[in-house]
Amino acid sequence: MPSYVALTYTRDVDWSAPEQAAEMAEYLEFGRNAAAVIRGGAALYPTPTATTVRVTGGKGGDVVIGDGPYAETKEALTGFYLLECDSLDEALRHAANLPAAWNGVVEVRPTIPSMT
Partner 1 sequence: MTATDAGRRSPDDGDPRPASRLEPAPEPAPERARAPAPAPALDSAPAPEAEAEAEPELRPTPDPAETLAELLRGEGRRVLATVIRVTGDLALAEDAVQDAGISALETWRRLGVPPNPRAWLTLAAKRRVIDLLRREGARPVKEREAITLAVQQTPDDTPPGVVRDDQLRLIFTCCHPALAPETQVALSLRVLCGLSVGEVARALLVPEATMAKRLTRARRKIADAGIRYRIPDAEELPGRLGAVATTVFLLFTEGYASRSAGAPGAGAQVADAPFSAAPGAAAPSADPGFPGTPVAIPDAAPALVAQAAILDVAPAPAAPTAPFAAVEAIRLGRLLVELMPGEPVLEGLLATMLLQHSRLAARFDNAGDIVLLADQDRALWDRGLAAEGIELAASAIRGSSLRPERFAVTAAIAACHALATDAAATDWNAILAWYDVLLALDPSPVVGLNRAAALAERGEPAEALKAVDGLVGLDDYFWFHATRAELLRRLGRDREAGAAAAVAEDLTESAAQRRLLARRYPR
Residue 63 Cβ, how far from partner 1 at the closest point, in Å?
A: 27
The Cα–Cα gap between 113 and 4 comes to 10
Residue 11 — φ and ψ, nearest 5°? -55, 145
H or E element, residue 88: helix 88-95
Name which position in 76, 91, 100, 106 contacts partner 1 (CB under 8 A).
Answer: 91
Distance of alpha carbon 29 from alpha carbon 6, whole angstroms: 16
Residue 88 lies near partner 1 (rule: CB under 8 A) = yes
Q: How many other CB atoms are there within 10 angstroms of residue 106's CB atom?
A: 25
Work out whether 87 is an interface residue with partner 1 (CB under 8 A).
Answer: yes
User: Applying CB under 8 A, which of residues 5, 85, 100, 106 lies at the interface with partner 1?
Assistant: 85
Contact flag: residue 95 with partner 1 (CB under 8 A): no
Which one-letter DSSP state was computed for residue 27? H
DSSP class of residue 94? H
Stretch that binds partner 1, among 6-14, 40-48, 67-75, 89-97 (CB under 8 A): 89-97
Among 16, 54, 86, 102, which residue sits at the site for partner 1 (rule: CB under 8 A)?
86
Question: What residues make contact with partner 1 under the rule CB under 8 A?
Answer: 1-2, 4, 85-89, 91-92, 109-110, 112-115
